[in-house]
Amino acid sequence: MRTTPTILHLDMDAFFASAEQASKPSLRGKAVVVGGLGPRGVVATASYEARVFGVHSAMPMAQARRLAPNAAYLVPRFGFYRSISEQVMGLLRALSPLVEPLSLDEAFVDLEAGKEAWDEASARLVGVRLRADIRAFTGLTGSVGLAACKMLAKIASEQAKPDGLVVIEPGTERALLGPLSVRTLPGVGPATGDHLRRAGITSVAEIAEAGEDELVRLLGKSHGHALYAMALAHDERPVVAEREAKSVSVEDTYDVDIHDRTRVGLEVRRLADRCVRRLREAGLSGRTIVLKVRRYDFSTLTRSETLRGPTDDPAVVREAAARLLDSVDTTGGVRLLGVGVSGLADYTQEDLFAQAAGELTEDPVEEGGDRPGEEERAPAERRWPAGHDVRHAGYGHGWVQGSGLGRVTVRFETPDSQPGRVRTFRTDDPDLEPADPLPLVRSVPPDASVRSVPSVPSASPAPGGARRPGGPGAEVSQESSDPASLPKSRSGNAGGAATSRP
């Protein structure tokens, strides 16, 4: 393991919720919850103001509403979050060729590989400047941890939250880890934590005291050895620049169980098309088609079929998913469906025997496209997800505060305006249309120190010129004294729209 704290871990603060607050002046300083708004939705991220009421990620949305009834509840805008993430990752890649993204809002960076840091003082200065650059380019805040290994760097960033920086100095690792809960260590989830607790082990220090043999007896050889090494602050995992995707999948949870078998088949077809679009966007293909079905009683069934060669053809994936559905009993109702593709490759096997029978469709059917019997249905009411951007011909840019009963309520404001006024329209108002998100920061301060950042829709191009980190003497802003482990941004069920109460 290294002797200098040159592994950096960045974790953006309440990322989805903070991005929403930055883009909506009326929500700044208020409780904001982002996630699926349907009866079975879950919280993706809660702002720090909402966490005061006990709301946290992965919590059922119904429970969050009981805890914080006056919070603003918004549907996620993943395209918007991804554009901000690209800016942040660009800042990190300007520091080192070894950047390991863990999610949209979290990554490890090897500062030694980029020759940006070589000792504690230079690493600390890089962390200070990185946080300033993130604020300058995105208007958001991130917490930074620096340590000699990945495990400790992540623990340090948790202790730095929100909007702080913590450096774990070499020689202090064991003292820092000792009093922490066993759940702090990677790989210790609820089940392993309960197993250790029943054995009288609740802290990291008690893991070290128990000894390697005892841990192997309790947890098995592989897990026991790894956990004992981590309790001694040993983590040899390198920062890996590319994390190869193992599968591409999509799934939907339904507010009301689906009982009609024809409707289930149409949903599977629609999910297969969405999955193929993701495959093609990533330039991938795959050999194994996977169907996931969660039934009314919460039992979850998974079926898979492996083709003779990789494909990204929508007809092949649709037909394979339909065959898999034939083997599943959906009597009683279905609450979740998912379609995925694994066995990924960056090419497509042009082998007709690997393709399903029938005429092949060149492009996937778009969501909302023609479906059997659709010509007989009345036009569907326009959907206005809470929190999404809109533009009105007369009032300009705004966002959906809520919708229902044929009406949609819009607050007209922009990231750099004062809190705006609220107006209500018919959902079919011809002057109202969906809009793209506006950039959070329209101009970058001239003293921004990053060398280069990719140009993305949500920010201005970065200026050139960077200072090389200097020697000791950099001051670190540690604005948070709360070392508690805080929820992460996660994807939730984004279905449904509900009236939000800012």
Give catalytic residue positions: 106
Is the Cα torsion angle 389, 257, 262, 251 positive or negative in sign?
A: positive
Q: Are 453 and 87 in contact (CB under 8 A)?
A: yes
Query: What is the SS3 string spanning 77-143?
Result: CHHHHHHHHHHHHHHHHCCCCCEEEEECCEEEEECCCCCCCCCHHHHHHHHHHHHHHHHHHHCCCEE
End-to-end CA distance of the chain: 48
Structure tokens at 285: 């293909």
Dump the DSSP string for 307-355.
EEEEE--HHHHHHHHHHHHHTS--TT-EEEEEEEEEEEESS----GGGS
What is the CB-side half-sphere exposure of residue 193 using CA atoms within 13 A?
Answer: 13
- Residue 463, amino acid: P
**Distant-in-sequence, close-in-space partners of 47: CB < 8 Å, separation ≥ 6:** 14, 17, 18, 21, 30, 31, 32, 33
Cβ-based neighbours of 151, under 8 Å, separated by 6 or more: 185, 186, 230, 233, 235, 237
Angle 481-483-487 from CA coordinates, rounded to 5°: 120
SS (H, E, C) 43-68: EEEECHHHHCCCCCCCCEHHHHHHHC
* β-pair partners for 411: 399, 422
Distance of alpha carbon 219 from alpha carbon 213, whole angstroms:
10
CA torsion, ordered 5, 10, 283, 324, to nearest 10 deg = 110
> Could you tell me which of 247, 255, 360, 340 has the C-alpha nearest to residue 293?
340
Rounded Cα distance between 352 and 370, Å, is 27
Residue 381 carries which DSSP code?
P
Q: Is the CB of residue 314 less than 8 Å from the CB of residue 247?
A: no
Q: Which amino acid is at 141?
A: T
**Unique residue bearing structure tokens 């708004």:** 37
Specify the 3-state DSSP secondary structure of 76: coil
Residue closest to 477 by CA, chosen among 96, 141, 112: 141
Six token digits for residue 441: 């920061």
Task: Give, as one character, the DSSP assignment of residue 28.
Answer: T
